[in-house]
Structure 1
Amino acid sequence: MLAAIGLDETHEAAYRALVSLGAADVSDLARRLTLGEPDTVRTLRRLERHGLAARASGRAGRWVAAPPGVALGALLTRQRHELEKAELAAALLAEEYRARAAEPAVHDLVEVVTGAAAVSQRFLQLQLGARRDVCALVTGSPVTVTGTANSTEEHAAGRGVRCRVVVERAVLDLPTGLVELAAAIGRGEQVRVVERVPAKLVIADGSLAMVPLTSRTAEPAALVVHASGLLASLTGLFEAVWREALPLRLGADGGTVREDAPEGPDGTDLEILSLLLAGLTDASAAKQLDLGLRTVQRRVKRLMELTGVTTRLQLGWHAYERGWVARSPRTSQG
């Protein structure tokens, strides 16, 4: 817990032991920490440099703990000061970067990042750096950079950043696909489904995009695209796929199924409709929602009777007409 102020587990354990005992001999502390005495002495000297421990006067080999309120308070104050300086430096560097990026050279508009560790690190920077919105196209095939709704936008969603995700239907068939998507929807993210997405893509704040490059033989790599005509094209691609995708409706609580359904569809009906319109079979939808196959079929039949249709295609059309599931107008960007 004290790693943020520069103490590892051993040093924290030693300080806690000293606080608990008030004072202790090196030998006693070594036994308590299961360390050799030389290592214990080195640990105590480190605590002394941090102002957390001191040698007892009048007795060699005995150490006392500094009062936590004073000692830790001083360290926290210093750490906050260092963080403030780091934030100021980051702001100045960001301003300098924006100034230099106003007229970027053509070769600076696209970066090629290679290596699994480098790609993952750059991807993390992109999602943590987002301030307004994150848009993502997610494929069903694994790649170096994970990008399901649960992992790609989780950090951003926690900061109130708007997240829009389009997944291809194969994601729903992954072992944890629906669980992760339900969690994402529960966090307030918007998730839609299409049969296939053209490419895996993540865009942050409309100013930076990342496109993983997949190859079975070459080293993992990705393109990082800065503000440019290419980025505008990628943004347009996302918006076009978003407009054509079907909204996904999933319950986060797995509530009890109601057989005495009201006149309109209840939450479970809407979940079933959403999965069926996304391309799942009755059996797959039943399995994903932990329902019986006959329950799903009975609910679909009731919805068909409710809308007065004879085919599921007509049911899907009526579902849109009645607003049970909705697609944004083609002129909308959201």
Structure 2
Amino acid sequence: MLELFGLNERAEHVYRALLALGAATPGTLAERLALPLPLVQNALAGLESNGLAAVSAALGDHYVAAPPTIALAPALSQRRHELHEAERAVESLADEYRRTGGAANGVADLVEVVSGVSAVRHRFEQIQLGAAEELMALVTDAPVAVRPEENVVESVVVARGVTHRTVLSRDTLAEGQVMEQMALALGRGQQVRIAETVPTKLIVADRALAMVPLRTLGSPGEPAALLVRAPGLLEALIGLFELCWQQAVPVRFSSDGQLPVDDEGDQPDQTDLQILSLLLAGLTDASVAKQLDLGLRTVQRRVQRLMVLTGVTTRMQLGWQAYEKGWVAR
């Protein structure tokens, strides 16, 4: 986290340990962090040169940490200044682009075509990293340039507090790692729903910028995408997402297996919760068994157990009871 201030991971660990201890010798820090003494001494030298630590005046063999608000404030202020200057430079370049006619009648600035795997991947990551409040995504079973498991920036964006809603087509569940990725996303607090069909891939950032894939551009098979900033088109794409979202089935199961308990007694476990979510998404018993790597009879036996547990005789009643008891999201 402190790499922006020129500290590597080891130096950050040493600095945090110093903050926790108040004062410590290099040997104490090495023992606490389970690191070789020379590495700790090297990290302390770096902290000292950056004004983040100093030798104690009272205890000559001890180091003390400088207060972070004092030691890091100048660098943080410089970073803010650099970011502000970068924003001004981008605005200046955009103005120059429009003045020189690069964006004919402003249309090219509102709709842009990006082609090539590298370019599409880069813009896809830029859109996510640029989101400040909300990301909305439609996902189909045909990746254009980035597969779900390759989307490493998604977790970074969600960690910043960006709301993330995703609608998956049911066909995507046939992909090998989709279930694992969906569990990770739900564990991060993302909202995921499954629809019978999804018309197209789509990602929208802050309701201000959208990206839609194009089948081909130029040579056959070359991936391409359309970046949309035009208000009218954006409204249509956002409306498409909201329609898919309303018609999709919510999915909820967390990696820690925690479930709401409304009374004492037997409760569904993590596997039961996953089975319920997938059945409500429209999968057959056989498909659920394949996705969760279970036997068909195991799935059917667990469903029957849940019906007995809820006191119902049909699967429709089981779905209703699952909602009522909070086992799956509404």
TM over 0.5: yes
Amino acid at match of 2:132: R
Residue range with higher mean Cα deviation, 127-136 or 284-293: 284-293
Counterparts in 2 of 1:6 and 1:188: CA distance versus 1, 3 Å: closer
Amino acid at match of 1:242: W
8 Å Cα contact 1:150-1:184 kept in structure 2: no
In the other structure, the counterpart of 1:308 is 312
> Which residue pairs with 1:245 in the alignment?
248
Provide closer, same or farther for how the CA distance between residues 307 and 201 of structure 1 changes in structure 2, counting only shifts above 3 A. Answer: farther
Structure 2: tracts of 5 or more residues without a match: 8-44, 53-71, 99-104, 259-263
Cα distance in 2 for residues equivalent to 1:274 and 1:234: 27
Shift of 1:289: 3.6
Amino acid at match of 2:185: A
Q: CA deviation at 1:278?
A: 2.0
How far off its partner does 1:195 sit?
1.8
Contact persistence 1:251–1:271 (CA under 8 A): no
Deviation for aligned residue 1:274 = 0.6
Shift of 1:118: 1.4
- Aligned-partner residue type, residue 298 of structure 1: R
With over 3 angstroms needed to count, the CA separation of the structure-2 counterparts of 1:87 and 1:2, relative to structure 1, is closer
Structure 2 counterpart of 1:185, one-letter code: L
The equivalent position to 1:83 in structure 2, one of 79, 86, 91, is 79
Matches for 1:1-334 after TM superposition, within 5 Å: 68-69=46-47, 71-72=49-50, 83-93=79-89, 105-147=106-148, 151=152, 153-215=154-216, 217-253=220-256, 262=265, 265-305=268-308, 306-310=310-314, 312-320=315-323, 324-327=327-330
Larger gyration radius, structure 1 or structure 2: 1
Letter paired with 1:143: V
Q: Counterpart of 1:23? A: none
Kept in 2: contact 1:111–1:224 (CA 8 A): yes
Q: Percent identity of the aligned residues?
A: 51
The residue type paired with residue 171 of structure 1 is T
C-alpha distance in structure 1 between counterparts of 2:241 and 2:151, whole Å: 19
**Structure 2 length normalisation: TM-score?**
0.66
For structure 1, which runs of at least 5 residues remain unmatched after alignment? 8-66, 256-260, 328-334
When the two structures are aligned, how many residues end up with a matched partner? 263
| Residue deviations 1:45-104 (CA, integer Å, cap 9, x gap) | xxxxxxxxxxxxxxxxxxxxxx64564559x99976753332111343566699999xx8
Aligned-residue offset at 1:325: 3.2
* CA 73–264 in structure 1, closer or farther in 2 if over 3 Å, else same: closer
User: Aligned letter for 1:169?
Assistant: R
How much does 1:302 deviate?
Answer: 2.8
Secondary structure of 1:153's aligned partner: helix
For residue 267 of structure 1, report the CA deviation from its aligned partner: 4.3
Instruction: Name the SS for the 1:285 alignment partner.
Output: helix
Q: Is 1:149–1:180's contact at 8 Å kept on the other side of the alignment?
A: no
Give 1:212 deviation, angstroms.
1.8
Tell me the SS of whatever aligns to 1:209: strand
Letter of the structure 1 residue corresponding to residue 84 of structure 2: L
Deviation per CA, 1:253-280, whole angstroms, max 9, x where unpaired?
A: 469xxxxx94664543322111112233
The 8 Å contact of residues 149 and 181 in structure 1, kept in 2 or not, is answered as no
In structure 2, C-alpha distance between the alignment counterparts of 1:5 and 1:153, rounded to whole Å: 24
Q: Distance in 2 between matches of 1:293 and 1:191?
A: 25
AA paired with 2:179? Answer: L
Cα distance in 2, alignment partners of residues 96 and 207 from structure 1? 20
The question of whether the paired residues in 2 share the 8 Å contact of 1:119 and 1:222 is answered with yes
| Deviation of the 1:315 alpha carbon | 3.5
The amino acid of 2:112's aligned partner reads E
Conserved 8 A contact 1:134-1:156: no
CA 1:297–1:291 in 2, change beyond 3 Å: closer, same or farther? same
Distance 1:246 1:133 in 2: 20
Q: Secondary structure of the equivalent of 2:239?
A: helix
Task: State the 1:158 CA deviation.
Answer: 1.2
Q: 1:325 to 1:150 in 2, by over 3 A?
A: farther
Superposition deviation, residue 6 in structure 1? 9.1
> 2: CA distance between counterparts of 1:294 and 1:270?
17
